[in-house]
Amino acid sequence: GDSVTQTEGQVALSEEDFLTIHCNYSASGYPALFWYVQYPGEGPQFLFRASRDKEKGSSRGFEATYDKGTTSFHLRKASVQESDSAVYYCALVRSSGGNYKPTFGKGTSLVVHP
């Protein structure tokens, strides 16, 4: 079945550090890939998506590039802020034959210290 693996369970950084959260997926064909951010007490917020090889998604200074060769969609940000502290989820959606099923990774908790 489809799966999403986020390598880091927790990431601790200082403000202005560079962020990378790794996301690898396993699915047939060309699934759409997503990043979500979730703040305490809230539902996941859509950041961006990509659906083709080499397509880059971006929002709020975060970006990720769809890489079918390495089956990855790593999240990056050049300079994090304390307000970026949250849980980040990578997800994939494969739509085939009318079967639409979103699959989420286990999330990466980001803590940014001032």
Partner 1 sequence: GALVYQYPRRTICKSGTSMRMECQAVGFQATSVAWYRQSPQKTFELIALSTVNSAIKYEQNFTQEKFPISHPNLSFSSMTVLNAYLEDRGLYLCGARTVNERLFFGHGTKLSVL
Residues of the shown chain interacting with partner 1 in the complex, contacts defined by CB under 8 A:
32, 34, 36, 38, 41-46, 49, 51, 87, 89, 91, 93, 95, 98, 100-104, 106-107, 109
CB of 107 vs partner 1, minimal distance in Å: 5
CB-CB contact of 78 with 18 (8 Å): yes
CB-CB contact of 23 with 73 (8 Å): yes
CB of 67 vs partner 1, minimal distance in Å: 20
Measured CA to CA, the distance from residue 82 to residue 85 in angstroms comes to 6
Q: Which is nearer to partner 1, 14 or 96 (CB)?
A: 96
Q: Which is nearer to partner 1, 12 or 78 (CB)?
A: 12
Q: Which is nearer to partner 1, 13 or 93 (CB)?
A: 93
